Amino acid sequence: MSLRDTSSPVLIIGGGAAGLSAAAAMARCGIHATILDQDDCIGGSWARRYQSLKLHTIRLFSGLAYYPIPKDRPRYLTKDEYAAYLREYAQVLVLDVSLGERVDAVRHIPDNADAMRWEISTGAGTRHAKVVVIATGHYAAPHYPAVEGMDKFSGRMIHSAQYTTGAAYKGQKVLVIGLGNSGAEIAADLAKQGARSVSVSVRTTPPIVTREMLGIVPVQLLGIALTPLGMPKVIDRIGAVLRRVVLGDLTRYGLGEAAWGPFAARRPAVIDAGFVQQLKQGRIVIRPEIARFDTADVVYEDGSREEVDVVISATGFRTGLEKILKVPDVIDDDGQPCFRSGGQASAPGLFFVGFNETVRGQLFEINRESKRLAVEVQRYLAATNQDEQK
């Protein structure tokens, strides 16, 4: 679609996995969708992530709608291999992607002509659509913790989004804030590549699991098989016992008991990609929550302090939707959708996809959501067309 053609039945904002899968699923239903993405290439956000990153989910359940990852790819793709798959996906399914088009605002115009009730302001001009699908995901805006003295810290401070490789920090004293998947993997990478010291500040201890149980069964398959059974608290208790058998007692190394269970919380556990080994070998040290920064020192809640050269904030992201979505009551105070991912919001013609993270894997959920979304959009457009004909 050329920029001169500024009207479309469906505009999808975000050209990552969720946006691409949504467009493919709608194409299968006979609906043309145009994807708007601010990046200059498909898969760019994956390609920019840290070098050691691999998928935690297996190839079979990491593919998108109607074009699975080819069987010649490894069981667990690297971030570059997945970026290449996304480019291949768009090419094979002939998706309409407008790259380098940043979306600045999304507005609902109820009385617009021809039922094009959505106005999208972009860096390239203004577009109109009957349906808007928000597929920008959780990782749009890096989030830093608010800690006293951060602005006066004399060392270097970055977000995990800026981290590429531990080789850049060889011989340095590094503190990682946060023990999610990124924090654990970055800490392990730093330790392996020769950082002088690696500390991890942990506020809430997560459950940690191996990528494959007993080196045989991918943990994702257990998530897929056990989720429909219900009884999440029972499954979490059994999982806690299995984790202790496989990984041992991690309280001996400074980690407390897991504060939540992945099935009850509907949150993925931290997948061990070398973190536990480095922890047990003393190359990673667990620290309490940070109380404040004092020039070159970090002061922890227990009163201890530590001098560090670099702080890497692995404290997650925000959606950033509050900056572009000029529609009331569709996102909460944290910028998360108030409506089911893959379904319609309260504003007619507005949908979200790709915001559901579970123990089954986000890419697995995106595949399912995008197919459900396509049916919902098809119904909405059919009803809209009927109203126009009256």
Residues 134-176 pLDDT 10s: 999 888 889 999 999 999 999 999 999 999 999 999 999 999 9
pTM greater than 0.85 (yes/no): yes
Task: Give the mean pLDDT of 262-279.
Answer: 95
Considering the chain, what percentage of its residues have pLDDT values greater than 70?
Answer: 96
Domain 7-140+319-389 has CATH 3.50.50.60: yes
pLDDT confidence of residue 140: 84
- pLDDT bin (cut points 50, 70, 90) of residue 17 is very high
Cα torsion 167, 172, 177, 179: sign: positive
- Given a cut of 90, whether residue 127 has pLDDT beyond it is yes
Give me the mean pLDDT over the 300-328 stretch.
Answer: 94
Q: Please name the residue ranges forming H helices in the chain.
A: 17-28, 44-47, 79-92, 181-192, 219-226, 232-247, 262-265, 275-280, 362-389
CA angle (342 as vertex; 339, 346 as ends), nearest 5: 35
Length of the chain: 390
**Residue at 389: amino acid letter:** Q
CATH code: domain 144-313 is 3.50.50.60
Which is more confidently placed, 113 or 290? 290
Mean pLDDT taken over the chain:
92
Query: pLDDT per residue over 183-209, tens digit each?
Result: 999 999 999 999 999 999 999 999 999
Per-residue DSSP letter, 205: P
pLDDT band at 334 (very low <50, low <70, confident <90, very high): confident
Contact 289, 301 (CB under 8 A): yes
Separation CA 135–CA 13 (nearest Å): 6
Map out the domains of the chain as residue ranges: 7-140+319-389, 144-313
One fold for 7-140+319-389 and 144-313: yes
pLDDT of residue 2: 40
How many of the other CB atoms lie within 10 Å of CB of 162? 12
The band of 216, judged by pLDDT with boundaries at 50, 70 and 90, is confident
The DSSP bridge partners found for residue 318 are 141
pLDDT at 387 (0 to 100): 66
Determine the residue type at 354: G
What is the Cα–Cα distance from 312 to 298, expressed in whole angstroms?
A: 13
> Is 324 exposed, middle or buried (CB count within 10 Å of its CB: 0-12, 13-18, 19+)?
buried
Predicted confidence band of residue 1 (pLDDT cuts 50, 70, 90): very low
**Residue of 66, 126, 82, 138 lying closest to 101 (CA atoms):** 126
Note the pLDDT of residue 115.
62
Mean pLDDT of 297-307: 96
pLDDT for the residue numbered 189: 97
Q: Which amino acid is at 170?
A: K
Residues 348 and 330: their CA atoms lie apart, in Å, by 11
